[in-house]
A = this chain, B = another copy of it.
Amino acid sequence: MFLSSKSLEKEKDHVEGFAPELAWVTKAGDKDLEVPVAIRPTSEAVMYPYYAKWIRSHRDLPLRLNQWNSVVRWEAKQTTPFLRTREFLWQEGHTAHLTEELAGKEVLEILELYAGVYEQLLAVPVVRGRKTENEKFAGGYYTTTVEGYIPSNGRGIQGATSHCLGQNFSKMFDITVEDPANKGSHIHVWQNSWGLSTRVIGVMIMVHGDDKGLVLPPRIAKTQTILIPVGINKSTTPEDRKKHEEQLDGIRDTLKKAGVRAESDWREGYTPAWKFNDWELKGVPLRIEFGPKDAAKEVVSWARRDTGEKGTIPIAEVATKVPELLETIQADMYAKAEKSFREHRLQITKWEDVLPALDDKNVVLIPFCGDGKCEDRIKELTTREDTQPDVPESQKLPSMGMKSLCIPFEQPEGVVAGETDCLSPECQRKAQFWTMFGRSY
């Protein structure tokens, strides 16, 4: 968990990038420590001294380790549960390879796994791309990223990153192997690091949730289908009640055998309406209601959490129709989120269109030169001064300036590198690529 400043300082850009956010332990019990220690903000500087010991031969490569742990970054920015917290739980992978090519291949493989977590599991679309020099990992060679979009406020959010560290750290921590092609000479290994945090949960909540509570995509819902008995009341005879119970739990068991994570809610003392709300709050994708009327018609009644749509399924068909319905919900949730992100990702070619687009809850693709100072200036130029100090915060237009989210791998037509102008009104350079900018977390 701890990091000495000695180890951290080995990679100059790395320490500069993280220093402002380091939490320092300076005291133990009532005594001041002789040498304060920082809580790790990421584990490169903790792990790589050991990599130098463990990696002796090219036969030790690739070395690929992953760990799940909390890290601490004491951000000055406002914190938001799950999305930006000072302590967060993540996995961080740290790998070492013989060549740049092998490292680079893995960077993209991992990025695609992260994209899969968002798109395939969480039904959240992401844009794959590369970070600008300003936004890349401190001390790294280049950073790839998947970027998401929060419809309710139009902000972009970094989903997960996969970095190629190049040989920057291996040179500082002296991680070498003998060159297999050239006995006696040594090669500094090529390193990657990559991480995904519990932020994914927050993004999923923000993208799909509504005013009734969570809306969970079926693939990751702990309970995919909740069965709620209806039409059972004080006038129901114990025999009828028992019969109904057995039938409903029988349907639940049929669903379980079909691979559906189904539960029935037999809690006493709550009305069906109360239970409906309770499970909607918890985001369960599909509710099945089952009462004596349904039993008489040999159907179950269902209601989707995502759209509110309702219908019935013959009891005899639940084992096939419910899994189908869940896959439909999953696909529809993704399609809706994808449409929303696509429609709010605007290609902008006039500077004066930028701020209105942001205010209209869009992220923007602009021709950009890639220069770090130009990027800083773009942020300043899009930061709104507070001209109405007496208006309540919630009624003002957002003041937050935009920063770069990524240079998408999929580049639309229209920017010719070295010919098209950079969009910044103060920049004399030529654009290199379309770059996605936005207000962000």
Contact = CB atoms under 8 A, between A and B. Distances in A.
Interface of A: 1-2, 19-30, 36, 39, 69-70, 72, 74, 87
A24 B22 contact: no
Q: 9 closest A-B pairs (Cβ-Cβ)?
A: A28-B74, A24-B27, A20-B29, A26-B26, A23-B25, A1-B87, A23-B28, A25-B25, A1-B70
A19 B19 CA distance: 28
Contact of A25 (B21, B24, B69): B24
A72 B23 CA distance: 15
* Tally of this chain's copies: 2
Contacts of A70: 1, 69-70
Given A1-B70, A2-B87, A70-B1, A26 B28 contact: no
B26 A27 contact: yes
A75 to B, nearest CB: 9
Given A23-B27, A25-B25, 7 more contacts: A1-B87, A20-B30, A22-B28, A22-B29, A24-B28, A27-B36, A69-B70
A26 B24 contact: yes
Contacts of A25: 23-26, 39
- The secondary-structure label for the interface of chain A is strand
Contacts of A27: 23-24, 26, 36
A72 B26 contact: no
A180 B172 CA distance: 65
Contacts of A24: 25-28
A28 B25 CA distance: 9
Nearest to A89: B69
Contacts of A72: 1
A81 to B, nearest CB: 13
Contacts of A20: 29-30
A19 B26 contact: no
A19 B23 contact: no
A378 to B, nearest CB: 25
Contacts of A26: 24-27
Nearest to A23: B25
Identify which of A1, A2, A70 gathers the most chain B CB atoms within 10 Å of its CB. Answer: A1
A345 B25 CA distance: 42
A176 to B, nearest CB: 20
Identify which of A20, A24, A72, A87 gathers the most chain B CB atoms within 10 Å of its CB. Answer: A24
Nearest to A18: B29
A197 B217 CA distance: 36
Nearest to A25: B23
Nearest to A36: B27
A28 B21 CA distance: 6
A39 B19 CA distance: 20
A41 to B, nearest CB: 11
